[in-house]
Structure 1
Amino acid sequence: MTLEDLDTYLSSDESPENCMMLSDLDGFMHGIACSPVLISAEEWVSVALGGDPNDVPAWVLKMITMLYVDIVEGLCSDPPEVEPIFWEAKEGHVIAMDWCEGFMDAVALRPKEWLRLTESGTHGFLMTPILCHLIDENGNSVLGIPQEKLDESLALAAQDIPSAIVGIHQFWGQNTKTE
Structure 2
Amino acid sequence: MSDEIDLEALDAYLMSDDSPDDCMMLSDLDGFLHGVVCSPVPIPQDEWLSAAMGERATKLPPHILEIIIDLHEDILDGLTLPEPEVEPIFWEAKAGHVIAMDWCEGFMDAVALRPKEWLRLTESGADGHLVTPIMVHMMDDNGHSVMGIPHEELQQVLAEAADAIPEAVTGIYQFWRSHGQPTA
State if a TM-score over 0.5 links the two structures. Answer: yes
State the match for 1:93 in structure 2: 97
Q: Residue 168 in 1 paired to residue 177 in 2? A: no
State the match for 1:47 in structure 2: 51
Task: Tell me which of 122, 125, 129 is aligned to 1:118.
Answer: 122
CA displacement, residues 17-42 of structure 1 (integer Å, 9 cap, x when unaligned):
00000000000000000000000001
State the match for 1:159 in structure 2: 163
State the match for 1:36 in structure 2: 40
The alpha carbon displacement at 1:52 in A equals 3.3
Residue 52 of structure 2 aligns to which amino acid in structure 1?
A
Runs (4 or more) in structure 1 with deviation over 4 Å come to: none
Secondary structure, aligned partner of 1:136: coil
Residue 130 of structure 1 aligns to which amino acid in structure 2?
I
Secondary structure, aligned partner of 1:91: coil
State the match for 1:146 in structure 2: 150
The two structures have a TM-score, normalised by structure 1, of: 0.97
Report percent identity of matched pairs: 61
| Aligned alpha-carbon RMSD (Å) | 1.2
CA distance in 1, matches of 2:8, 2:38: 25
Secondary structure, aligned partner of 2:55: coil
Q: Give aligned pairs, total.
A: 179
Task: Tell me which of 102, 108, 120 is aligned to 2:112.
Answer: 108
Task: Tell me which of 1, 4, 12 is aligned to 2:8.
Answer: 4
Residue 8 of structure 1 aligns to which amino acid in structure 2?
A
The two structures have a TM-score, normalised by structure 2, of: 0.95
Name structure 1 gaps, 5 residues minimum: none
